[in-house]
Chain A
């Protein structure tokens, strides 16, 4: 239970993918103009991150490590994730048009997003991930990996939804025209990042 809480706090707040580790900045700034699309994007990223951990962790530990070709991880991860997302997209289109309409358009955008590749690289780095969630280096397993992916995705959703809410408010304020749009979004992102940094001090 303690480990479970540690994973949530670590993945969502202390090591939030967007505002602490600066991964996945492109969707964070690009799709945060309104609440609805930000939520869709966030959920799509959560979904893909969880699946990524579920599939890349066994591929790494069961195929790459025994064969001594760990250095091929990035190439193999990229096409495994890309093909997986392709399959998911087709399956969604066929079986759940509602879900496809909600997040289908964001899925191709995040196939090899840095946040998604980042979570795959992080969960296989046993030493680092064990340090982050406070477990013994040897006891890392696929359950922890998938949970970490899920909560990292939820952390991304949290950050992008916060950002969209603030940007919606900021868009209506009478601000200097040179600051309108992107510059003010960067300043808002900066404040969110500073707020999240407080968690790292716990």
Chain B
């Protein structure tokens, strides 16, 4: 090894090799410059400006491959600004100004799973098969008696790019601090149990059942029976019963949590 290093260098050969390599590289460098001049594509300034102002979360909630793809679709008028949940309102306003499109501010939201069943809700059969909600729902709508019950198969867990959803006690749960409100989980849920509520909200209804109260009593320990106690006791009148389910008007709700205390089934939950 040492003798190899100490061998005298033949500078004539070295120079000649360097020359040849240099000539080849210069030729290719010129070719690259030539091709880049010939094939110059003007990148749209607007697209660049828009993608700089997007959140850059690349969550895919808008349905495009990433923020860059979304920016392109926005500039071409194919996409709507409101389908992005991760970008702040100020940034969106700037984008709207750049692209000269109308924009109305939306309140910042986050996802909640409108079911708390899981281990509290009874099964009609034991499911043995491929994992995931999509596979399970093909067998008589899944194993839960309640047709609107979360199956806990984890479609939403896989859809979330921020690890913000986890399965606890057989039901999906969103971590508010990690949610960027992209909407990917809501799209992945075959039962449409995930909804978006304002970040200022203090309470939410963790049930989506359309069953009658008597059926709910036997099928689920935490399901809404439609008694209406929450609506009657709310001091602000923010709760209204629609199809036997309470609907909270978050503009009126002041977060007093009377409904949480009054609910006999603990269906209304604090955040």
Residues on A facing B (Cβ under 8 Å): 59, 63, 67, 69, 72, 75-76, 79-80, 83, 86-87, 90-91, 93-95, 172-174
Contacts and interface: CB of A to CB of B under 8 A. Distances in A.
16 contacts: A59-B24, A67-B20, A69-B20, A72-B21, A79-B24, A83-B29, A83-B32, A87-B35, A90-B39, A91-B35, A93-B39, A94-B39, A94-B41, A95-B39, A174-B129, A174-B131
A101 to B, nearest CB: 10
Contacts of B25: 79
A166 to B, nearest CB: 16
Contacts of A75: 21
Interface in B37-55: 38-41
A148 B259 CA distance: 74
Interface in B158-176: none
B134 to A, nearest CB: 9
Contacts of A91: 35, 39
A174 B199 CA distance: 37
A94 B40 contact: yes
B24 A87 contact: no
Contacts, number: 45
Contacts of A79: 24-25, 28
A86 B39 contact: no
Nearest to B29: A83
Interface residues of B, number: 20
A95 B35 CA distance: 12
Contacts of A93: 39, 41
Nearest to A83: B28
Given A67-B20, A91-B39, A174 B130 contact: yes
B129 A90 contact: no
Interface string B16-40: 0100110011001101100110111
A76 B20 CA distance: 10
A72 B39 contact: no
Contact of A63 (B20, B41, B129, B132): B20
Given A91-B39, A93-B39, A94-B39, A172 B132 contact: yes
A87 B25 CA distance: 14
B22 to A, nearest CB: 11
Nearest to A64: B20
B135 interface: yes
Given A172-B135, A174-B131, A87 B20 contact: no
Nearest to B128: A174
